[in-house]
Amino acid sequence: CLDMVSASPNKKGGVAMKQVFKMFVFPILMVVLFSFPAFSEQQQEFTGKIVGVNCFLHDLDCNSDMYEFYHLQFEPDFVLLIGKDKHYMLPNVPRDVKVRIAGETVTVTGNTSKLELGINVESLKLNGKVVWSKELQRKKLYEESQRYGGN
């Protein structure tokens, strides 16, 4: 902890601004920054192609034929690619779902993050059919809990 008495004064006789920033401004700034919600409130619809993150980052031609090969197991994650440069992470969609639809054009409904790096997905559609959604997950969880003696 900083002792204000032993703090070295600056030329004007006060505590150095760097120390004041560390003690007061920085913590307040962090509280304000992290108090905002991570995702925006308004849901939007995005249409794009699911591609491996390595294919996107290394600018590889990952056309749909590549997805028939074993390299999918080495992709750490997948992104929704819109156009050539715009992409979003889909952090709440399980990897196994993304693997099954890799190389396909999908429609995602959800909220973008404040920094627009990811989408909090509500539903994911392939050819107009919902292949994953929060509601489907809730129903599946409820059915499994009933099967194993839940009330």
pTM assigned to the model: 0.67
pLDDT, residue 57, reads 86
pLDDT digits (tens, 9 = 90+) for 82-93: 988 899 999 999
Radius of gyration (Cα) for the chain, nearest Å?
Answer: 23
pLDDT, residue 60, reads 76
pLDDT digits (tens, 9 = 90+) for 69-116: 667 778 899 999 998 889 999 999 999 999 999 889 999 999 998 788
pLDDT digits (tens, 9 = 90+) for 35-69: 445 555 678 999 999 998 888 888 877 665 555 56
